[in-house]
Amino acid sequence: MKAGRLPALLALVALLGLAPEVARSQAPQTEERQNYQRFRQLPPDEKARVLNDLQRWNELPAARKRELQESYERFQKLPPEQRERLLQRQRQWETMPPEERERVMKNYQRWQQIPPAERERLREQWKKATPEERERLRERYRGQGPPHGQERPR
């Protein structure tokens, strides 16, 4: 293209009101635009899942959205190996049969009833235990009610 034609072309673009469009197309894509492009490339079933998740998000109360956002920000601040460990546990949870999930939740509730000092003592005992001792502990506490004779939470 000859040097004299460039100013004329730019003047024509400005005259037709296309300057903002040209500037935008030459600017780096924004994160939102990149996300939209990725969304458009998803298979239909994934698009439906994303739209469903977005609808569920929009229906949440503001306080719950804040809690989830704060949780996400804490997650992002974790070291990569710790984030990966949490993601592995999440994937493991998702593949558990319902009965196993229920058992895990009951054990978690039992654990929450133990006073903090006792929990710490048990953690230390677990760290020092051999694989055989750990299996015996698992068997001993599997399916039992709350520890130390405490009542079940109501």
Per-residue pLDDT of the chain (154 residues; tens, 9 = 90+): 444 444 444 444 444 444 445 445 545 568 888 888 888 998 999 989 888 988 999 999 999 999 999 999 999 999 999 999 999 999 999 999 999 999 889 988 988 999 999 999 989 999 999 999 989 888 887 655 444 444 444 3
pLDDT value for 152: 40
Yes or no: say if 138 and 104 are a contact pair by the CB < 8 Å rule: no
Q: Which residue has the tokens 């003047």?
A: 11
Judged on CB neighbours under 10 Å (0-12, 13-18, 19+), 27 is: exposed
CA–CA gap between residue 15 and residue 22 (Å, rounded): 13
The reply to whether the predicted model has a pTM over 0.85 is no
